[in-house]
Amino acid sequence: MDEDFAVRQDLARELRRQDVDVVEFSSSDRFADMVDEQNPDIVFVNLNKAAPHECVRALLALKDCDYSGAVQLFGRCEPKLLDSFNTVGADCALSMLPPLMKPLEFAKIHRIILDRKLGSPAPVASGVSLREALAKNLIRFLYQPKVELKTGTMIGTEVLARVAHPERGLLAPNVFLKGAHEEDLITLARLALVNAVQTSAHFLESGIALRPSINIGVDNLLQLPIADLVLMHRPERDNWPGILLEVPERQVANKIGPLTARVPGLRRASVGLAIDNFGSGAFRLGILNQISFAEIKIDRSLVDGCATTAGKANMCRSIIETAHSFGSKAVAVGISTDTDLQALSAMGCDSGQGSLLGKPITLQQFDALIAKFKGQAA
């Protein structure tokens, strides 16, 4: 968390080059949602310009979420102030790392992350590995609404995997996917794919055609018989909308050849592709000439605060225009405020998802949401 957009972008870019997943924030407002969705290993909080109450809000938000990761405070301020906030965090039962003074070198941040990874094996931290969760049938799926911004109409849902821990409740992927074996990741992707297809059939029976999407790594996509699985489980209905596979932006370029070869078979099975986390790193736009993507999903780090930060607004607008110029829909991820929603709609963004539009919920809760939408339409 840092108020300076340029600082966050520079640091995030360097970390992503080291294959570290990063979520950026300018304030504590969305900390609770972020922890629920991402469950990060470490939260870095910069006190350089933040008012004292902002740091306390962030620490309290982490406490309320039962955050189990580490908190690293740093800033260009009095060491006693940093120590006092560290004490507040410790009183909140948070795992506080020794505070650091700025300037903070990237190498030092990377060392902190590396030390944390080496010192916190996933199975111990989460209480369950992916392999154990699969063996014990602990995988559950939640569904987050995707809404057309101009009309407010629900047009799809993202299917999200969770582990139903017997003591800690639902665990996010950042907890149970750490250290997962490749064959277990493929098994999880297969489960998510079949669930998405079967859920879309369930929605059709309810009288609404929603297009589900799942996150999948490119390697898993290439190894699974996706088209065969879809054809095996899809409903025999002419109005079936199909499903979407969301692939991470940074993986597309490295597998463009094999991925392109799979596109015709996927298209025949009514399976579309979407680029996830777009804008989080360097991307060769020429790839968009090689593969027709149904959606380009704008990374949440750019969406959050796009109404008030000129740099983010320019990036979002550019991505939306790029998506439209290549015949793709632009989807904003992580919409959490009305101001951001209005700004994105004015930019011409097609659809979005986020806590403002609907948090991940169970299928039963989603059915109730569909009934509510249908009732309002009537």
Q: Where are the domains of the chain?
A: 5-120, 130-377
pLDDT grade for 125, boundaries at 50, 70 and 90: very low
CB atoms within 10 A of CB 366: 23
Average pLDDT over every residue of 135-147? 95
pLDDT in tens, 22-57: 777 665 556 666 666 666 778 888 776 556 667 777
Residue 76 has φ and ψ, to the nearest 5°, of -105, 75
Q: Is the pLDDT of residue 110 over 90?
A: no
Q: What's the longest Cα–Cα distance across the chain? A: 67
Q: How far is CA 177 from the centre of its chain?
A: 14
Query: Among residues of the chain, what percentage have pLDDT more than 90?
Result: 49
pLDDT grade for 72, boundaries at 50, 70 and 90: confident
Tokens of 6: 């340029």
Average pLDDT over every residue of 187-196? 97
pLDDT in tens, 249-306: 888 888 899 999 999 999 999 999 999 989 876 667 788 888 999 999 999 989 999 9
Q: Side chain identity at 107, as an amino acid letter? A: A
| Cα radius of gyration rounded to whole Å, the chain | 21
pLDDT in tens, 159-189: 999 999 887 788 888 788 878 888 999 999 9
Average pLDDT over every residue of 109-122? 62
Torsion over CA of 62, 65, 68 and 70, rounded to 10 degrees?
A: -20
Query: Among residues of the chain, what percentage have pLDDT more than 70?
Result: 85
CA dihedral sign of residues 352, 143, 173, 37 = positive
Average pLDDT over every residue of 179-205? 93
Q: What is the β-pairing status of strands 211-215 and 243-248?
A: parallel
Q: Is the pLDDT of residue 122 over 60?
A: no
Res 121: pLDDT: 40
Closest among 304, 322, 324, 326 to 313, alpha carbons compared: 304
3-state SS, residue 26 = coil
Contacts by residues 306-312 (CB-CB < 8 Å, ≥ 24 positions apart): 306/340, 306/343, 306/344, 307/337, 307/339, 307/340, 307/342, 307/343, 308/339, 309/5, 309/26, 311/5, 311/6, 311/9, 312/5
Q: Is the pLDDT of residue 134 over 80?
A: yes
Higher pLDDT, 322 or 89: 322
Res 285: pLDDT: 79
CATH class for domain 130-377?
alpha beta
Residue 97 to residue 101: CA distance in whole angstroms: 13
Res 32: pLDDT: 62
Could you give the C-alpha distances from 79 to 4, 84, 137, in angstroms and in order?
21, 9, 49
Q: Is the pLDDT of residue 4 over 90?
A: no
Strands (E), the chain: 42-46, 70-75, 95-96, 100-101, 139-148, 154-165, 169-171, 211-215, 243-248, 271-278, 295-298, 329-333, 351-353
The CATH homologous superfamily to which domain 5-120 belongs is: Response regulator (3.40.50.2300)
pLDDT grade for 120, boundaries at 50, 70 and 90: very low
Residue 184 has φ and ψ, to the nearest 5°, of -75, -35
pLDDT in tens, 208-256: 999 999 999 999 999 999 999 999 999 888 889 999 999 988 888 888 9
Cβ contact 312:279 at 8 Å? no
Q: Is the pLDDT of residue 309 over 60?
A: yes
Reported pTM: 0.69
